[in-house]
Amino acid sequence: MEYIRKMVVCLICFAVMATVICIRINAAEPAGEIVTNAKASILIEADSGRVLYSKNPDRRLQMASTTKIMSAILTIESGDLDKPFEVDSEAIKVEGSSMGLLEGDTVTKRALCYGMLLPSGNDAANAAAVAVSGSVEAFVEKMNAKAKELSLGATHFVTPSGLDDFTDGHYSTASDMAKLTAYAIKNETFKSICSAQSISLDLGGRSVWLNNTNKLLKTCEGVFGVKTGFTDKAGRCLISACERGGITLICVTLGDSTDWIDHEKLIEYGYSRLERVELGGESFKVDMAGGDLKAELYSSDICVTLEKGEAERIEKRVIIPQFVYENERGKSVGKVIYYLDGGVIAISELKVR
């Protein structure tokens, strides 16, 4: 009997412990909530900037080679992308990841952008800095000026590459990096380069084969970029952009040991919340000046990205003239303004048919 009593007590204790363990596991990741391992992260809808998920989005952290998003877009915006020149022999003497530049190589700015955005070449970033601004230091000033222009108030650059082992002054936030990425992917050249899985480049007598370090290009539907990053200080950093059904999402994680998994999880979560809603197609009749004829005012269809269920709350305001003139056919004479919860979400021009 004593043996049976002890067995019963042990079984009860085991059941209680198992219950406690289950409760703790469930408490760590409640059903329906997203949990990431990132120190900071954010998921936004690119066109509107709407935040769909965030965790410490304004915390200042090192961002490693995601820095090269800024370096690449500045290089692209400087122009003359296909003009050959010899790389600066001192600029390419840099540690870390490389596109394999050697002294005497002939490159173009476009090639250096591939070198920055695919294998994350620190040599490419430095060479581009010198090519654009004459020196790395002058280019960094340009980076910080651009950050100010884009209202990236919590971002400061020290290097074009993202190397940060010698400084604590190179930092950004998940929120700022999402804004920077939203700006950069509007440039078709940037978008085309960061979406390439691999490329062969001629460096003036020899060729190099570059592979993209972003494996989400192959594993996650719709992903077309943007940049990986790692340093000992920053940890693993990743910025991805994904386009499905006319909706573009941008995901940023800083200091995330499970970044690939977290990005796929966040991207799927984002698309589960959003939908494309068609507005427009409005038609109105107004008087034609100088007679009894009527003119038709019409608006073209436009699409907006909304969270599911928001379309039911859309309101509109129509602004049209009392009459129009014959010579106004084909011209815009009015508008339809669409509101969601008091804020303007779209404006459709009304033209005379």
User: Are the CB atoms for 276 and 46 separated by under 8 Å?
Assistant: no
Q: Is 195 left (phi over 0), alpha (psi -120 to 50) or beta?
A: alpha
Active-site position among 41, 55, 65, 299 = 65
The answer to whether residue 65 is catalytic is: yes
Give just the sign of the alpha carbon dihedral 74, 80, 82, 88. negative
Beta bridge partners of 323: 287
Tokens standing for residue 296: 């038709």
266: Cα separation from own chain's centroid: 13
DSSP conformational letter for 61? B
Active-site position among 120, 172, 195, 348 = 120
User: Are the CB atoms for 239 and 69 separated by under 8 Å?
Assistant: yes
Beta bridge partners of 235: 231
Q: Can you tell me the distance from the alpha carbon of 314 to that of 318, in angstroms, rounded to the nearest whole number?
A: 13
Q: Can you tell me the distance from the alpha carbon of 208 to that of 159, in angstroms, rounded to the nearest whole number?
A: 25
| Burial tier of 110 (Cβ tally within 10 Å: 0-12, 13-18, 19+) | middle
- Residue 269: enclosing H or E segment and its boundaries? helix 259-273
The answer to whether residue 68 is catalytic is: yes
The answer to whether residue 93 is catalytic is: no
DSSP conformational letter for 301? -
Q: Is 120 left (phi over 0), alpha (psi -120 to 50) or beta?
A: left
| Burial tier of 266 (Cβ tally within 10 Å: 0-12, 13-18, 19+) | buried
User: Are the CB atoms for 64 and 227 separated by under 8 Å?
Assistant: no
DSSP letters for 158-190: S-SS---TT-S--BB-HHHHHHHHHHHTTSHHH
Q: What letter represents residue 200's amino acid? A: S
Active-site position among 39, 55, 68, 109 = 68
Q: Can you tell me the distance from the alpha carbon of 301 to that of 15, in angstroms, rounded to the nearest whole number?
A: 61
Q: Which residues are catalytic?
A: 65, 68, 120
